[in-house]
């Protein structure tokens, strides 16, 4: 059992002692009410994370004024009406020995008038390439008002009992917009020289310090490298860090990137990026200042995290998505239960992709996240639940049911558990799906689920298990194309190729350029095949999270994969495919055609079961082909629904789940 001594040694943030070196970094959840106030759901979420043993909790970016709001249901610190709700979060953290404080935030140009109700503001009228709305340049008077709003927000945090505040000077929001020549074109005392560009941040630090008690810890988050041409570099950031140290900040929280560089995959590193890729930035800053430094970025392994602190690369390690995936990560690590950790797989599907759609944050691998209140209600009695289908949705139903004390039988047609995760993990840069499959498979054993492999369950076999309820999670099958196929044509489904059941010959044409089509293209191109993707719409892989997509497209280009958009496959013959586009009808050489045209639900079993079993629930792709995130959420919700005898359980969003 690894000792992890450094990770679980006390840390210091100014006057505060923390129980360990683990930090929950700020993450907007979109769980508040319309006024940015804490809801019971939010409190339950924060309490659940605090219970898992993290030492320091930085609450999400909280807008100091309504014109600085970045997300529809983000925490606010703009009004005294938020204080009571915030105090409930403080109480939840303190009960479990964690220290807690919010991140003070103004979005500047990185928001839209849809969210704020007014034109976004910025140092200069330069639009953000992602949000695209032209902001209004702030006057000196308005700057002074915003500086004062940061101070007032800090005072509210202290009034609510918070232990510290963090100022959000990273990720391209208003403070970075002033700091960076990428966004600041001002010619007054707030623009031009580094000192002038730092003025806004320095005034905010002063205003915050003046608004709180003398030794109240103030942390600042910075993007060490903005990763855009003309943006802040590590050298610029070191100068800023030194200035902040001189101003007496308690710690520096070191991240990277802004919205313009988001798709480079640093700010919230996706599956294709390595663990700990931002640590060198924290290390660089730590080498130049004496204040404690927090490192962040895809830190998922306790031994790795401990080493970062032990080697003096950072004083604290922030684990953001890691805590959404498993709030008990700190306690499990401390107790040496590393095999039981449900790892964040960096899929970005459930969390940041939903947030950027202005939805509430979920976690693909942990359906309890966002639903802690519903999960907290214990079942009235132990039931017998039979699950058919051992993919991610079925295994999750089995896991949640077994964890909640039910007796579970799980049927799986194949000889191994995993379902479509096997195909998902086959392309390059997709290791997370394997991690999820292995975790869920381990859990089946740990929780004593009666797994019956190699068994295609019939209604009769299911009845023999005498279940109180059945969860049908039998997934989907690839959709057959409705095109003409000539004699001798060689065609295959993508899933069969990814699973090694079919071989292909070059050149290959992939019919259908969704995310799985694009990934299959990469899988084949890496093996040296010549690949063309034919896609009916105007772009490929649009169903992938944006950073994942950008990196995938880059790699496809490097492999020389040809992409034909606005093009329809008309027929497939031996050695060629006939396609139609705005340029007319033509043929493309194709020794093998790969169909990647979506999936249709596997149905049938549920109806047969319903004749004798009262409670039968169909989940995941067996309802409608969607992503793993939805399959897992529905697997968990099916169990809660069975316990309570209602068809759907949860928040409003869960009611709309099937239509999502
Ligand atoms: C859903 C979500 C919301 C986030 N919101 C914030 C935020 O409010 N403020 C901030 O500084 N960073 C925010 N981040 C970035 C995280 O704090 C963290 O730096 C990033 O997720 C990388 O760390 P991780 O790999 O441990 O998750 C957010 C990330 C996610 C996934
Ligand atoms: S949704 Fe994916 S990236 Fe986000 S926390 Fe969960 S596993 Fe990690």
- 592-609 in b/e form (b: 16+ CB < 10 A) is bbbbbbebebbeebbeeb
Question: Please, which pLDDT band fits residue 659 given cuts at 50, 70 and 90?
Answer: very low
Q: Whose CA is nearest to atom 5 of ligand 2?
A: 321
Atom index in ligand 1 nearest the CA of residue 170 equals: 11
Q: Which candidate in 173, 190, 439, 595 is catalytic?
A: 173
Q: Considering only CA atoms, which residue is closest to atom 8 of ligand 2?
A: 344
Mutational pocket test of ligand 2: of 45, 325, 356, 631, the residue with most ligand atoms within 8 Å of the beta carbon: 325
CA–centroid distance, residue 81 to ligand 2 (Å): 32
Cα–Cα dist 635/125, whole Å: 47
Residue 98 has pLDDT above 90, yes or no: yes
Q: Which residues line ligand 2 (CB under 6 A)?
A: 321, 324-325, 344-351, 363-365
- State which ligand 2 atom lies nearest to the alpha carbon of 369: 6
- Tell me the average pLDDT across 177-203: 98
What's the gap in Å between 157 CA and the centre of ligand 1?
A: 20
**Atom in ligand 1 nearest the alpha carbon of residue 354:** 1
Q: Is 298 in the pocket of ligand 1 (CB under 6 A)?
A: yes
* pLDDT at 654 (0 to 100): 60
Centre of ligand 2 from the C-alpha of residue 329, in Å: 14
Which of the ligands is closest to the CA of residue 171?
Answer: 1
Tell whether the model's pLDDT for residue 657 goes beyond 50.
no
> How confident is the model at residue 652, as a pLDDT?
59
325 lines ligand 1 (CB under 6 A): no
Determine contact, residues 191/184, Cβ cutoff 8 Å: yes
Q: Is 353 in the pocket of ligand 1 (CB under 6 A)?
A: no
Nearest-ligand number for the alpha carbon of 220: 1
Distances (CA, A) of 524 to 395, 511, 530: 30, 14, 8
Q: At 653, is the pLDDT very low, low, confident or very high (cuts 50, 70, 90)? A: low
Longest dimension (CA), the chain: 83
φ, ψ dihedrals at 604, nearest 5°: 120, -60
Mean pLDDT of 568-584: 96
For the CA of 355, the closest atom of ligand 1 is 1
Pocket test residue of 349, 421, 431 for ligand 2, highest count of atoms within 8 A of CB: 349
Q: Is the CB of 232 under 6 A from ligand 1?
A: no
Cα gap 613→611, rounded to integer Å:
6
Distance 464 CA to ligand 1 centre (A): 48
pLDDT in tens, 26-78: 999 999 999 999 999 999 999 999 999 999 999 999 999 999 999 999 999 99
* Nearest protein Cα to ligand 1, atom 2: 27
Ligand 1 contact, 547 CB (< 6 A)? no
* Beta-strand pair 508-511/599-601: unpaired
222 CB within 6 A, ligand 1: no
Angle, nearest 10°, between helix axes 392-403 and 431-446?
40
What's the pTM?
0.96
Tell me: pLDDT of 658 over 90. no
- Give the pLDDT score at 352: 96
- Return the ligand 2 atom nearest residue 346 CA: 3
Strands 576-581 and 568-573: antiparallel
650 pLDDT more than 90? no
Please state the rounded mean pLDDT for residues 532-561.
95
Q: Which residue has the tokens 């071989």?
A: 503
Angle, nearest 10°, between helix axes 83-95 and 140-159? 50
Average pLDDT of the residues in 395-418:
98
Site to probe by mutation for ligand 2, drawn from 265, 272, 344 as the one with most ligand atoms within 8 Å of Cβ, is 344
Please identify, by atom number, the ligand 1 atom nearest to the C-alpha of residue 348: 31
Whether residue 407 is predicted with pLDDT greater than 60 in this model: the reply is yes
Q: Tens of pLDDT along 268-314? A: 999 999 999 999 999 999 999 999 999 999 999 999 999 999 999 99
- Check if 109 has its Cβ closer than 6 Å to any atom of ligand 1: no
- Å from CA of 344 to ligand 1 middle: 13
Give per-residue pLDDT as tens, 227-270.
999 999 999 999 999 999 999 999 999 999 999 999 999 999 99
Assess whether 266 carries a catalytic annotation: no
Residue from 29, 34, 38, 92 nearest 61 by CA: 29
Residue 480 CA to ligand 2 center (angstroms) comes to: 32
Q: Is the peptide bond before 507 cis (omega within 30 degrees of 0)?
A: yes
State in Å: Cα 250 to ligand 1 middle: 20
Residue nearest to atom 6 of ligand 2 (CA): 363
Cβ within 8 Å of residue 311, ≥6 positions away: none
Find out whether the beta carbon of 167 lies less than 6 Å from any atom of ligand 1: no
Of the bound ligands, which one is closest to the alpha carbon of residue 347? 2
Kindly identify the ligand whose nearest atom is closest to the C-alpha of 352: 1
Count Cα atoms within 13 angstroms, Cβ side, for 540: 31
Distance CA 546, CA 270 (A): 10
The ligand minimizing its distance to the Cα of 633 is 2
Q: How far apart are CA 213 and CA 464, in angstroms?
A: 68
**Is there an atom of ligand 1 within 6 Å of 320 CB?**
yes
Long-range contacts of 145-148 (CB under 8 A, 24+ apart): 145/65, 146/64, 146/65, 146/68, 146/106, 146/174, 147/200, 147/203, 147/204, 147/207, 148/207
Residue 360 has pLDDT above 50, yes or no: yes
* CA 369 – CA 231 distance, rounded (Å): 35
How much distance in Å is there from the Cα of 492 to the middle of ligand 2? 32
CB-side neighbour CA atoms (13 Å) of 495: 14
Q: Are 52 and 329 in contact (CB under 8 A)?
A: yes
Find the ligand nearest to 57 CA.
Answer: 1
Average pLDDT value for residue range 458-476: 97
Examine the pLDDT at 646 and tell me if it is beyond 90.
no
pLDDT at 655: 47
Q: How far is ligand 1, taken at its centre, from the CA of residue 509, in Å?
A: 39
Q: What is the DSSP string of 125-147?
A: S---TTT-PPPEEPPHHHHHHHH
Token pair in block for residue 623: 């309802």
Report the separation in Å between the CA atom of 279 and the middle of ligand 2, taken as the mean of its atom positions.
20
- Please give the distance, rounded to the nearest whole angstrom, from the Cα atom of residue 634 to the centre of ligand 2: 16
């Amino acid at each position: 059992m690894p000792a992890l001594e450094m990770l679980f040694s006390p840390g210091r943030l100014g006057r505060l002692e923390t129980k360990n070196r683990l930090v929950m970094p700020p993450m907007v959840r979109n769980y508040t009410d319309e006024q940015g106030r804490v809801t019971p759901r939010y409190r339950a979420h924060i309490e659940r994370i605090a219970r898992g043993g993290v030492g320091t909790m930085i609450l999400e970016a909280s807008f100091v004024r309504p014109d600085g709001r970045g997300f529809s249901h983000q925490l606010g610190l703009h009004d005294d009406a938020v204080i009571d709700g915030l105090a409930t979060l403080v109480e939840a953290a303190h009960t479990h020995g964690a220290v807690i404080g919010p991140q003070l935030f103004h979005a500047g140009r990185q928001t839209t008038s849809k969210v704020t109700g007014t034109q976004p503001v910025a140092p200069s009228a330069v639009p953000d390439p992602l949000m695209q709305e032209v902001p209004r340049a702030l006057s000196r008077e308005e700057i002074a008002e915003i500086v004062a709003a940061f101070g007032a927000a800090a005072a509210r945090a202290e009034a609510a009992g918070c232990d510290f505040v963090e100022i959000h000077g990273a990720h391209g929001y208003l403070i970075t917009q002033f700091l960076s020549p990428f966004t600041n074109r001002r010619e007054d005392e707030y623009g031009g020289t580094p000192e002038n560009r730092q003025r806004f941040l320095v005034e905010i630090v002063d205003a915050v310090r003046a608004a709180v008690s003398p030794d109240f810890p103030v942390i600042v988050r910075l993007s060490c490298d903005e990763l855009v041409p003309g943006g802040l570099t590590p050298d610029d950031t070191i100068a800023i860090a030194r200035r902040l140290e001189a101003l007496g900040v308690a710690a520096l929280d070191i991240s990277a990137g802004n919205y313009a560089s988001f798709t480079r995959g640093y700010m919230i590193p996706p599956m294709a990026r390595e663990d700990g890729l931002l640590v060198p930035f924290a290390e660089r800053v730590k080498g130049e200042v004496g204040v404690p430094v927090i490192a962040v970025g895809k830190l998922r392994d306790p031994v790795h995290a401990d080493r970062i602190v032990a080697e003096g690369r950072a004083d604290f390690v922030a684990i953001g998505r890691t805590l959404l995936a498993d709030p008990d990560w700190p306690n499990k690590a401390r107790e040496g239960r590393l095999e039981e950790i449900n790892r964040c797989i960096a899929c970005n599907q459930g969390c940041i992709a939903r947030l950027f759609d202005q939805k509430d944050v979920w976690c693909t691998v942990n359906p309890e996240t966002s639903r802690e209140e519903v999960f907290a209600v214990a079942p009235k009695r132990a039931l017998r639940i039979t699950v058919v289908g051992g993919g991610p949705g079925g295994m999750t139903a089995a896991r949640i049911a077994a964890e909640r004390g039910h007796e579970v039988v799980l049927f799986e047609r194949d000889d191994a558990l995993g379902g479509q995760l096997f195909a998902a993990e086959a392309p390059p840069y997709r290791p997370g799906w394997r991690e999820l499959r292995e975790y869920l498979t381990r859990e089946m054993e740990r929780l004593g689920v009666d797994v019956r492999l190699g068994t295609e369950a019939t209604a009769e076999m299911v009845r023999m298990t005498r279940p109180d309820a059945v969860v049908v999670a039998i997934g989907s099958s690839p959709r057959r194309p409705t095109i003409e196929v000539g004699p001798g044509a060689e065609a295959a489904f993508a899933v069969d190729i990814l699973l090694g059941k079919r071989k292909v010959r070059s050149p290959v044409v992939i019919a259908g350029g969704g995310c799985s089509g694009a990934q299959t293209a990469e899988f084949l191109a890496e093996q040296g095949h010549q690949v063309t993707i034919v896609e009916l719409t105007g772009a490929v892989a649009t169903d992938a999270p944006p950073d994942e997509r950008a990196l995938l497209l880059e790699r496809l280009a490097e492999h020389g994969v040809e992409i034909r958009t606005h093009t329809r496959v008309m027929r497939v013959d031996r050695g060629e495919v006939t396609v139609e586009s705005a340029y007319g009808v033509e043929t493309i050489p194709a020794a093998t055609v790969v169909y990647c045209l979506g999936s249709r639900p596997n149905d049938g079993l549920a109806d047969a079961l319903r004749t004798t079993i009262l409670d039968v629930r169909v989940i995941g792709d067996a309802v409608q082909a969607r992503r793993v995130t939805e399959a897992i959420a529905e697997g968990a919700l099916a169990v809660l629904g069975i316990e309570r005898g209602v068809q759907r359980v949860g928040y409003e969003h869960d009611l709309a789940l099937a239509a999502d």
